[in-house]
Amino acid sequence: MQKVTQRIVFIADWQDEKKQSDSLYDGTRECPNAFYYQTVLHGLKSICDCVICYHDVEQFIENIANHKSDIVVSLWYGQKDRNRKCFIPAICESYHIHYIGADAFVQSLCQNKHLSKIYANSFGIKSAADLNITMREQIPLCKELKFPVIVKPNSEGGSNGISDYSLAMNYPTAYNMVENLYGVFNRDILVEEYIEGKELTIIIANMPDGHLFWSEQILAIDGKTDFKSEIYGYETKKLHKRKTSREIVNLISSEEKKKIQNLFLALGKVDYMRIDGRFNGNHFYLIELSPDANLSPKSSMGFAFQSHGYSYNDMLYSLIQGAINQFRY
């Protein structure tokens, strides 16, 4: 087995699932649960002889002088603050410490679904028409969109605030949904035209030898892959109320693949990413960019690497060593 020679600093704010509520708006749902945390930790210890763990940012900062030659692996998500995913990379860059994942710019851009779609559009990548509502007075503008629409928080992750039932068939329903979410999150709410088709996930990553890992997979919900009104929301993703499965496919044209790869490379320090969208009419339509994709064996990332012949430990090694090789400091 290949091993990472640098010490690994593992930062994770894992949460006990038994103490979490079943609320659609529970911000701790994005944090890793105990199983996810222990699985990643065991994998890291398998590929590195020294793994040092911290459970909050303050611990890491207090001991940061000891980690100038180490590499940081972070599953720290924080809560509520929209800049929370920028903290660890910004701290690491301030101290010139190697880390795996996206830098503060990429985290901030991708945290905002609306802005990340605009950025992707500049590379010729299609996406659904949308409206980012930053104040209640803008809600009537929803009437200009083609219904049905999906209503969701613009700057949240982990399906926080995105339900299986977040589809609005008409303006009055959309109005009520936006009002409800705005009352909960008190910041921008995204209203996005619904695109029928296959739920397509792309996994892309920097590999140790310099090439880009690429994998496409479609999602099936209760055996169905062509979605007319389905949403992969909180109830399905987190509460497992519907049965899901994934299948490796090859749907993206070489032209669209090149556009997506150019986007990934242009972002700079990112290392790996999950890209979610819909495939309809032989075209890919972007939903969101996730540079903090789940790294568990059961995730879309884990499924992609395993389907391409990598063990779980091989995946962790490849992602970490690929990040080390790409690091520019």
Structural domain boundaries of the chain? 8-101, 108-125+196-310, 129-193
Strand partners, 132: 190
* pLDDT value of position 80: 66
CB 293 within 8 A of CB 130: no
Q: What is the pLDDT of residue 24?
A: 58
pLDDT of residue 25: 56
Positions in the chain short of pLDDT 70? 16-30, 79-81, 158, 327-329
Question: What pLDDT is recorded for position 325?
Answer: 87
What pLDDT shows up at residue 270?
A: 95
* Closest of 153, 12, 154, 159 to residue 78, by C-alpha: 12
Give the pLDDT confidence score for residue 193 in this predicted structure.
Answer: 98
Strands (E), 234-309: 244-249, 272-280, 283-290
pLDDT of residue 285: 98
What's residue 30's pLDDT?
67
SS3 52: strand
pLDDT, residue 143, reads: 95
Cα separation, 75 vs 55, whole angstroms:
9
Contact between residue 93 and residue 102 where contact means Cβ atoms under 8 Å apart: no
Q: For residues 213 and 205, what is the distance between their CA atoms, to the nearest angstrom?
A: 5
DSSP 33: B
Name which CATH class applies to 129-193: alpha beta
The CA-atom distances, in angstroms, between 328 and each of 106, 129, 152, 205 are 16, 37, 36, 17
What dotted CATH number matches 108-125+196-310? 3.30.470.20
